[in-house]
Structure 1
Amino acid sequence: MFKPTAGEKLVELLIEWGVDHIYGMPGDSINSIIEPLRKAKDKIKFIQVRHEEAGALAAAAYAKLTGKIGVCTAIAGPGAIHLLNGLYDAKLDRVPVLAITGQVESDLIGTDFFQEVNLERMFDDVAVYNQRIMSADQLPAVVNQAIRTAYAKKGVAVLTVPDDIPRFEVGKEARITTSFVVKQEIHPLSEDLQKAKEMIETTEKAIILAGKGLHGHRDTLLAFAEKIAAPIILTLPGKGVIPDKHPYCLGGLGLIGTKAAYEAIHEADLLIMLGTSFPFTGFLPGKIKTIQIDIDPYQIGKRYPVDIGLAGDVGISLKWLSKNLNVKTDRDFLEKSQETMKKWWDRLERQEENGSVPLKPQRVIRALQEVTKDDAILSVDVGNVTVWMARHFHMTNQKFIISSWLATLGCGLPGAIAGSIAYPEKQVIAVCGDGGFGMMMADFVTAVKYQMPMVVVVLNNHKIAMIKFEQEVMGNIEYETDLTNPNFAQYANACGGMGYRVEQPDELLPALQQAVQQNKPCIVDVVVDADEAPLPAKITFAQAAGYTKHMVKVLFEEGKLDLPPL
């Protein structure tokens, strides 16, 4: 009677769970897993990345895009260590990821053998489930428990597999468990819903702050906002929940935000937080009545004081409120906010029309808007590029992913790789700064190898520009933020893709139009103005004072400002 090896059983279970690809690099301590993956290559594809961090970031991005578990693998020691950044991205953005790492053989553990690292200890903080496989018979139950836990707790599961275990046979005495996860509907307490209804009806200027928990609830959110005449502010992970140009949308809040959002939230008398645990509480009002709805009770009141908390599914909660609330007829607050937002859009459009050289990054985003399809996948890196995309790209029905809580540079390209796998029929665009792209640029050849049509737009200012701005706002002189970059367009060509270099305004739109028509990975390398600061919509006195202090220091160093005589 045929008995599968533990390695074969592992692959079989992944397929049962609906896993159709895995990111990683082959290596000595996982070769006993790679072989069964090779045999099952028609059902589960191995995506060979050039750096394990890219694989973990891609796995996290895949989970963000689809809700399905992302899977990555690495050898013991250095490979496993490289996974950490991507796994922390998954942890902080609360998406399911499974990491399968090799380990030295069972009888060598604890002997300080070559590449031996205490992986259970190393992964303890990042994982919601973290186990070493102890035997072939144990493996099936543990694999199922790991994946089930990752889904249920929306986090990272790590399986450490000693190199000898996958070669052993799984006996008939092995425990058989279930390879699926059960979903549930969670309703808030009826008394809490009633309290929220009463508070909403006794206030005059309600405003909504909507996060990523609202994705998939567009119509429900808009019906609720219409019922209570409340404008909507979107968190960065919530971008795309409703179209950016929708009459109820006031854009974002904070450094990436709009003047309309800032003014409205400080005029409002009721804040309704939906599906978000907004971290930047300095941009929220000092004192305001607050209702928070979140499926996780742990998140309610965690960062900002609330008066009423609804622990339950946000869609169910909003439908109940919309059904039971009276229609608000006074729309003065909403209309005032809409008028301020219209002026904000006019201001941004003037910035986007600037034809100076080097190009303004705002102009690049406007041109990108013209070539982006309505259902495109947008993977946005971290830095100034985040600000430009958050403010100037008008989402309609596109999917938008970013490293929101960890905010790790380098997430843009791996996110596009994941997007190409998740949605091979859709347009995929990565928008990166030169700093972020430089961190993961080796994996552009991964996109070439697997023939993934995508466009990588690099805003190239030879600078870690957001850090330059942060240093200046602190009153310091910019230091060690310059970057020495290759010609990224030539790099694309050398990798087997297509490259376009843009230095003049009239080159921009043609380059983007050509890139999106190619059936291969492309890089559009756009030289942009390094001195274009991502100023917040509302500049504080401390920021203005810090920047003034910085300018005085610069003038002194350049000899353009003399000390007054004694």
Structure 2
Amino acid sequence: MFRKTAGEALVDLLIEWGVDHIYGMPGDSINSVIEPLRKARDKIKFIQVRHEEAGALAAAAYAKLTGKLGVCLSIAGPGAIHLLNGLYDAKLDRVPVLAITGQVESDLLGTDYFQEVNLDRLFDDVAVYNQRIMSAEQLPAVVNQAIRTAYVKKGVSVLTIPDDIPTFELEKKALVTSTSYSVSEISPPLSELEKAREILDQAKRPVILAGKGAQHASDALISFADKLASPIVLSLPAKGTIPDEHPLCLGGLGLIGTSPAYHAMQTADTLIMVGTSFPFTGFLPEDANTIQIDIDPAQIGKRYPVDLGLAGEAGKTLSWLTEKIKRHEDRSYLEEHQKMMKEWWERLKKQEEQEASPMKPQTVIKALQKIAHDDAILSVDVGNVTVLVARHFRMTRQKFIISSWLATLGCGLPGAIAAKIAHPERQVFAICGDGGFGMTMNDFVTAVKYDLPIIVVVLNNHKIAMIKFEQEVKGNLEYGTNLHNPNFARYAEACGGVGFRVEKSEDLLPAFMQAKELNKPCIIDVVVDPDEAPMPSHITYAQMSGYARHMIKALFEQGKLELPPL
């Protein structure tokens, strides 16, 4: 009777944990894992990507969207190195991902063999669990521990497997452990909750800053804010937690935020941070009573001084406070900001309706809004496109995926691939700048190969436009930001998908409508104005001064300004 090999045991354990697909590329040091994957292809699907970075980014996006483990696979050496960017994205956004990497055979380790890299050291910083498997008998227990740790610590686990290990048969003495993990409920002490109630009862100008940790507590958040008469400001990863046009919502904060949110933060006397460790503290109040609610006690007071920390799950903590605080009848502060928000939307509407050549990118988001279903998934890349979608797309029940902490260019397309695999019945869009799309565009053929009808929207301005703006704000001349792009619509067709090239505003909505009806992988390549700057809602003196210096330098460079004679 044949015993299972370690490779077969690995695949069986992944299936037991509920893993139904893996992103990766075959190669010599993982062929002993690929074979058992082939045999189990009815239960677990291998998604062949064209670059391991895209596989890791897709695994991270899948975990962000579903809360389930994202899994990626690579060979030793170059393949494993390519995974790092996507794994750091998962680490910084705190989602569970398992990376399985090959390695040279056990008896060749330490000999500087072909493609040998010290993977233990390479992954040490990115991983919450990082182990090299050294025997078949060790494998089952280590796999379970790796997955359990990724879930519990919301991070990356890495298993490095020398090429010979998966071929060995498991002996009966192999350690058997559980394919499950337990979740604890965390609630703040009653004494701390009572202190919070006292602070909130005395608040005159309260503001809530809600982060990713509030995403699963939207009803509790709305009830709490309504009783407190408090506007809600959302961090970027929390976009969509409540609808953007909800009467309590002031949109985002910071360089991508809204003017009403900025004003509320500058005038608040009480700040309630819910499930966020907001890094841009310069936008937070200078003098306000601050309560921070977070399930991770280590995040409380990490970046911003707080008067009271409540270590607990957002929904239950907010529900307790809502029940105990008195209703704030004076709603003038909330109403003031609701009026400001109405004016803000009108201002954005005018930007979206501009008739210009080349097109303003805001008009592209308006067209997207018209065809996007309420349950659509938006995978948004990094750059000006982030600002545009964050401000101009009015979320209702849609899902929003982004590389929020690492902010890595190229995340849009892999995120859309993962979203369509997770939810094949839902509309999926990748909204990318030309710079971001250019980094991972080779994996559009992956969408074609696996018949994933995603719509990729490319804002094509032939520039790394956000960096151009940053250079100008520093008072520098633009340098190194021009891009030489292909025709992305023709590229889509070369890959076997469908492409639309849009250069006139009247062609924009028809292209979106056609892409929506085709139900095929599509790219909509929209030529937009390269000089449309991602203007912040509040412009500082330093930004104005820097931009003025840039303009003077530009005029000198063009010979339109001369120095006065001596």
Please report how far the alpha carbon of residue 340 of structure 1 lies from its aligned counterpart in structure 2 after TM superposition: 0.6
Partner of 2:352: 352
SS, match of residue 248 in structure 2: coil
Q: Which amino acid aligns with 2:165?
A: I
Number of residues of Structure 1 aligned to a counterpart in Structure 2: 566
How many Å separate the matches in 1 of 2:247 and 2:519? 37
How many Å separate the matches in 1 of 2:203 and 2:180? 45
Partner of 1:320: 320
How many Å separate the matches in 2 of 1:136 and 1:287? 59
How many Å separate the matches in 1 of 2:68 and 2:386? 25
SS, match of residue 225 in structure 2: helix
How many Å separate the matches in 2 of 1:339 and 1:2? 73
1:522 is the counterpart of 2:526: no
1:235 is the counterpart of 2:235: yes
Deviations 1:188-243 (A, max 9, x none): 11111111110011120100000011112111100000010000000000000000
In structure 2, runs of 5+ residues without a counterpart are none
Partner of 1:76: 76
SS, match of residue 509 in structure 1: helix
How many Å separate the matches in 2 of 1:140 and 1:115? 26
Q: Which amino acid aligns with 1:114?
A: F
How many Å separate the matches in 2 of 1:189 and 1:524? 53
Partner of 1:489: 489
SS, match of residue 242 in structure 1: coil
Partner of 2:299: 299
How many Å separate the matches in 2 of 1:273 and 1:285? 12
What does residue range 195-210 of structure 1 map to in structure 2 within 5 Å? Answer: 195-210=195-210
How many Å separate the matches in 1 of 2:111 and 2:562? 66
Deviations 1:293-325 (A, max 9, x none): 000000000000000000010111000000111
What does residue range 170-319 of structure 1 map to in structure 2 within 5 Å? Answer: 170-319=170-319
Kept in 2, the 8 Å contact 1:89–1:408? The answer is: yes
Please report how far the alpha carbon of residue 427 of structure 1 lies from its aligned counterpart in structure 2 after TM superposition: 0.4
SS, match of residue 251 in structure 1: strand
Deviations 1:337-383 (A, max 9, x none): 00011111000000000010111011100110000000001100000
Partner of 2:551: 551
How many Å separate the matches in 2 of 1:472 and 1:240? 32
1:20 is the counterpart of 2:20: yes
Partner of 1:445: 445
Q: Which amino acid aligns with 1:475?
A: G
What does residue range 28-177 of structure 1 map to in structure 2 within 5 Å? Answer: 28-177=28-177
SS, match of residue 215 in structure 1: helix
Q: Which amino acid aligns with 1:6?
A: A
Partner of 1:511: 511
Moved over 4 A (4+): none
Kept in 2, the 8 Å contact 1:428–1:455? The answer is: yes
Q: Which amino acid aligns with 1:455?
A: I
Kept in 2, the 8 Å contact 1:221–1:318? The answer is: yes
Kept in 1, the 8 Å contact 2:269–2:287? The answer is: no
Partner of 1:417: 417
Kept in 1, the 8 Å contact 2:210–2:274? The answer is: yes
Q: Which amino acid aligns with 1:45?
A: K
How many Å separate the matches in 1 of 2:287 and 2:135? 57
How many Å separate the matches in 2 of 1:193 and 1:227? 16
Q: Which amino acid aligns with 1:89?
A: D
1:534 is the counterpart of 2:538: no
Q: Which amino acid aligns with 2:180?
A: F
In structure 1, runs of 5+ residues without a counterpart are none
How many Å separate the matches in 1 of 2:494 and 2:176? 50
Please report how far the alpha carbon of residue 484 of structure 1 lies from its aligned counterpart in structure 2 after TM superposition: 0.2
How many Å separate the matches in 2 of 1:535 and 1:520? 35
Please report how far the alpha carbon of residue 564 of structure 1 lies from its aligned counterpart in structure 2 after TM superposition: 2.1
What does residue range 396-415 of structure 1 map to in structure 2 within 5 Å? Answer: 396-415=396-415
Partner of 2:3: 3
SS, match of residue 216 in structure 1: helix
Kept in 2, the 8 Å contact 1:25–1:74? The answer is: yes
CA RMSD of aligned residues (A): 0.6
SS, match of residue 303 in structure 2: coil
Kept in 2, the 8 Å contact 1:454–1:516? The answer is: no
SS, match of residue 456 in structure 1: strand
How many Å separate the matches in 1 of 2:396 and 2:519? 24
Deviations 1:1-21 (A, max 9, x none): 431000000000000000000
How many Å separate the matches in 1 of 2:376 and 2:423? 9
SS, match of residue 182 in structure 1: coil
Q: Which amino acid aligns with 1:478?
A: E
SS, match of residue 61 in structure 1: helix
Partner of 1:474: 474
Please report how far the alpha carbon of residue 565 of structure 1 lies from its aligned counterpart in structure 2 after TM superposition: 2.9
How many Å separate the matches in 2 of 1:555 and 1:323? 62
Kept in 2, the 8 Å contact 1:488–1:499? The answer is: yes
Q: Which amino acid aligns with 2:444?
A: F
How many Å separate the matches in 2 of 1:255 and 1:380? 17
SS, match of residue 516 in structure 1: helix
SS, match of residue 500 in structure 2: strand
SS, match of residue 22 in structure 1: strand
Partner of 1:461: 461
Deviations 1:30-74 (A, max 9, x none): 000000000000000000000000000000000000000000000
Partner of 2:361: 361
Partner of 1:337: 337
How many Å separate the matches in 2 of 1:288 and 1:535? 27
Partner of 2:394: 394
Q: TM-score, normalised by structure 1?
A: 1.00
SS, match of residue 158 in structure 1: strand
How many Å separate the matches in 2 of 1:565 and 1:292? 61
Kept in 2, the 8 Å contact 1:409–1:435? The answer is: yes
Partner of 1:564: 564
How many Å separate the matches in 1 of 2:91 and 2:547? 35
How many Å separate the matches in 1 of 2:152 and 2:315? 19
SS, match of residue 237 in structure 2: coil
SS, match of residue 499 in structure 1: strand
Deviations 1:374-419 (A, max 9, x none): 0001100000000000000000000100000000000000000000
How many Å separate the matches in 2 of 1:505 and 1:520? 23
SS, match of residue 237 in structure 1: helix
Kept in 1, the 8 Å contact 2:207–2:230? The answer is: yes
How many Å separate the matches in 2 of 1:118 and 1:325? 56
Kept in 1, the 8 Å contact 2:69–2:151? The answer is: yes
SS, match of residue 217 in structure 1: helix
How many Å separate the matches in 1 of 2:156 and 2:471? 34
How many Å separate the matches in 1 of 2:127 and 2:439? 25
